[in-house]
Structure 1
């Protein structure tokens, strides 16, 4: 015969004492230590379920029944969260190319003879003005982080130390800048103290012809161009009236 006694504690530090015996073959005893109300309820539920186990052999629990009971009622499942691992990006290869948006406007550099800060503009060039196209050295990277957002790349201007960077600005949104970099960028780590992680973009192919460039440091912000000529290339979220679709041309 099975019995379960729940005694009122004589001490406020004693949460519950519970003993269960079944033909002296099994005994469940809870030590007199403080427990939360949740644990007390779990103990009571386990004891009640123990009363209804039918798999008996000569008045004793068979091993399989006892094992199943503990697996279903005693062993608690714990959710283990993975440690936050800092993403590391390693350069794999570099190709040379020019970039046009889907309206066939080419990316060109602002006039260095003016007082404007260095930036890119999108312009429709005629056949005799191809020398103004900005040639990019696009480096691809492998990463320890998930790459379901695209292929990590850096977009540097060929034969210079200038790179496109999505960086914090004085306004509420990040800005697309031309950042001067001295030294190799073979390895870039998320949270880099020099801000080199701002140079990384996820290139994702859309359809058969277009690619998008999403900032790694500022998820959801894309390199965009306006429909009109001579407008500055900027960072925007989508949807908006800018285009985020580009083609890579003159690849070597």
Structure 2
């Protein structure tokens, strides 16, 4: 089937005019009807039903007219063209494209009222203790009677809309009864230090100076916990196989140990 663009516009306008004319003609006649005339009343009901049908067809005609008006600047290849070309012209010139802009939201982490107090040791039972010579932690095998050297940690838990449920839990690892927190800093490469914090840590946003205090805690099995830096993805808190070596960051896979057990756990409310 082929269509002439001028004929399509003419037919659309004629159809709209005839429908519109019929509408107003019927309206004028209805004003002169006698309400006591029963046949006239029946006719009036039929007329209203017809008007509803005409209203629906008018909407279709108007839509066609609007589409054709938008196409008035389109120059077809010839005066006659087929169904496929008509469809392509409508798709290209009538349907308006909506541009969706992606808005990047800065991840934000809000502290909860739950804090987990515990001791931490690696999978070889080396305990994390404070170094006496530097602001760092050491992984040491403690003998009986040396439990006082164990560091007690406060794991403050955080929530964030950017973290999926049942995924890793964002935490800050602070040392109990102090202002010291484990922090992942980056000089030539990420490494772990103890950082003193005096202000509150109720909300931490990506890009904030305190983002390096956040770690994703993931628990697997019964007692295996890993701590991945939020600021430096792919870097984990780790210990050396040898005794009395510094606790540091590493990428996996690695020869270092990244699984930890949490011992003597106690939930506290802040």
2:115 aligned to which of 60, 74, 94: 94
Q: Deviations over 1:31-60 (max 9, x none)?
A: 6xxxxxxxxxxx989x9xx8336xxxxxxx
Determine the structure 2 residue equivalent to 1:29.
72
Determine the structure 2 residue equivalent to 1:137.
154
Question: In structure 2, do the counterparts of structure 1 residues 76 and 141 end up closer, same or farther at CA, with 3 Å as the change threshold?
Answer: same
Determine the structure 2 residue equivalent to 1:106.
127
1:80 aligned to which of 91, 100, 107: 100
Which one has a bigger Cα radius of gyration? 2
TM-score (norm 2): 0.66
1:120 aligned to which of 137, 141, 144: 137
Higher relative contact order (CA 8 A, sep 6+): 2
Residues 167-206 of structure 1: matches in 2 within 5 Å?
A: 167-169=185-187, 171=188, 173-192=189-208, 195-206=209-220
1:52 aligned to which of 75, 83, 107: 83
Determine the structure 2 residue equivalent to 1:248.
262
Q: Structure 1: any 5+ residue segments left out of the alignment? A: 4-19, 32-42, 54-60
Question: In structure 2, do the counterparts of structure 1 residues 224 and 52 end up closer, same or farther at CA, with 3 Å as the change threshold?
Answer: same
Determine the structure 1 residue equivalent to 2:45.
none
Q: Deviations over 1:188-220 (max 9, x none)?
A: 12211xx21110001111223211101111111
2:235 aligned to which of 202, 208, 221: 221
Question: In structure 2, do the counterparts of structure 1 residues 2 and 201 end up closer, same or farther at CA, with 3 Å as the change threshold?
Answer: same
Judge which range, 138-147 or 150-159, deviates more: 138-147
Question: In structure 2, do the counterparts of structure 1 residues 249 and 52 end up closer, same or farther at CA, with 3 Å as the change threshold?
Answer: same
Question: In structure 2, do the counterparts of structure 1 residues 161 and 44 end up closer, same or farther at CA, with 3 Å as the change threshold?
Answer: farther
Alignment pair present for 1:2 and 2:12: no
Post-superposition shift, 1:71? 7.3
Q: Deviations over 1:115-161 (max 9, x none)?
A: x3210111111222111111001100111323475111000000111
Post-superposition shift, 1:73? 9.1
**In 2, distance between residues paired with 1:179 and 1:136?**
14
Post-superposition shift, 1:72? 10
TM-score (norm 1): 0.70
Q: Structure 2: any 5+ residue segments left out of the alignment? A: 13-67
Judge which range, 20-29 or 180-189, deviates more: 20-29
**In 1, distance between residues paired with 2:182 and 2:245?**
16
**In 2, distance between residues paired with 1:70 and 1:208?**
63
